[in-house]
Amino acid sequence: MEVRIDRDTFLDGVQKVQGIAETKGTMPILSHLLLAAEQDRISIQATDLEIGSKGYYSANVITAGEMTLNSKKLFDILRELPREEVHLVKEDNHWVRVKCGKSKFRLPGMPPEDFPPFPEFSQDSLMEFSSKLLKEMIRKTFFAQSPDETRQVLNGLLLERENGKLKMVGTDGHRLAVVRRDLGDTSKGEKLSYLIPKKALAELMKLIEDDEATFSFSAKNNHMAFMQGDQVIVSRKIDGKFPNYQQVIPSDNKLQVKINRNTLQQALKRVALLADEKSKMVRFDIQSGSITLTTDTTELGEAREEIAISYSGEGVSVGLNAKYVLDVLNVIDDEEVILNLKDEKSSCLITSNADKDYQSIVMPMRL
């Protein structure tokens, strides 16, 4: 195999897939990328056996063929090379010569036939959405997933389509985020529901560059695919039943506290500096005309901040995890947020008037 390719094009292709390559896995081949040259393009492919990603890039193919190279080493080299043409030549015993400008490298590869086959995926699109929509929906729910690897169904996001609406939901059992968006009449049809793993979502976000581009989603057997132009990410589905999130969304939180998002965000950051390291609890005392944020711990001391608000309802106090509330405030784009409350034992529903199709719930903590 011999190929010449623009350095920036090559770096872009490697960067898009290198997060998938397993650097510390038990199978050394998984730390490599598979490069395949054909006609006037090369494909760059990575897999960790759960997720596979592949992209095609234009190149001057002198001799077709395949080679594998260590993902991290190739990425590190390409990043430092001048913006010129990169010349790759495969030698005997899977070694590869890399030349760019006055720089020359000789790298060991592995047999391409040892590289796992790319998982079968369907080209038949079940739904399509713009990059902008997909990015927004992931951004507004991604933080709510569980970091606990043993709770597999909570280690990803639920993607649902029903009655022309697209929904994305994340929860870790202590908080929940749900965003609904209109897909238009084209998406009306049977209800579809898929659990997408966290790593697949993180890699998908790296592919989203052009807000106007369209992603197609397909599913076949136990794999699903996101396709955009010459790029595809194929991921194994998460097996299991996602919790009934509709039951968790409170419908009787009648106390509505409207507050400037930035003001609350900055005050909460300051008060949370002295919150308990483990629980991150901040006490929210809401009364007519003001909201008081308090932390009081024996080891760290106490902090208190009062914010003036235009609220004239009954008083209520609730303990909330400051990090969870800040995560929500970070993704709401509106200037004003609404804390929908009931009592100290009930969850806090965070919404905004400008986007009624985004809801986030934070469970209460014992005061």
Looking at the structure, tell me whether residues 102 and 183 fall in a common domain.
no
86 found inside a domain: yes
Range of the domain at 316: 249-362
Looking at the structure, tell me whether residues 42 and 103 fall in a common domain.
yes
Looking at the structure, tell me whether residues 242 and 131 fall in a common domain.
yes
- For residue 353, the domain's CATH number is 3.10.150.10
47 found inside a domain: yes
Looking at the structure, tell me whether residues 227 and 306 fall in a common domain.
no
Q: Where does a domain end: 204, 223, 246?
A: 246
185 found inside a domain: yes
Average pLDDT over residues 128-148: 94
188 found inside a domain: yes
70 touches 39 (CB < 8 A)? no
pLDDT higher than threshold 70 for residue 311: yes
* pTM greater than 0.75: yes
64 touches 38 (CB < 8 A)? yes
120 found inside a domain: no
Q: Where does a domain end: 201, 219, 246?
A: 246
Region label for 152, one of left (φ > 0), alpha (ψ between -120 and 50) or beta (otherwise): alpha
169 touches 156 (CB < 8 A)? no
How many domains are there within the chain?
3
37-65 tens-digit pLDDT: 999 999 999 999 999 999 999 999 999 99
Helical residues (DSSP H) of 124-207, grouped into ranges: 131-139, 198-207
236-279 tens-digit pLDDT: 999 889 999 999 999 999 999 999 999 999 999 999 999 999 99
150-163 tens-digit pLDDT: 888 999 999 999 88
208 found inside a domain: yes
Q: Which of 174, 169, 173, 170 is nearest to 144 (CA)?
A: 170
pLDDT higher than threshold 80 for residue 185: no
Q: Where does a domain end: 231, 246, 261?
A: 246
Local structure of residue 365 (DSSP, 8 states):
B
φ, ψ for residue 96, nearest 5 deg: -130, 130
Strands 175-182 and 165-171, sheet pairing: antiparallel
Q: Which of 155, 350, 342 is nearest to 243 (CA)?
A: 155
pLDDT of residue 187: 55
Q: CA dist 185 to 128, 142, 161, 252, Å? A: 12, 27, 12, 32
318-339 tens-digit pLDDT: 999 999 999 999 999 999 999 9
> DSSP assignment of 145-165, as one string?
S---TT-GGGSEEEEEEETTE
Q: Which of 332, 324, 290 is nearest to 136 (CA)?
A: 332
Looking at the structure, tell me whether residues 12 and 102 fall in a common domain.
yes
CB crowding 325-341: b at 16 or more within 10 Å, else e = bbbbbebbeeeebbbbb
Looking at the structure, tell me whether residues 61 and 141 fall in a common domain.
no
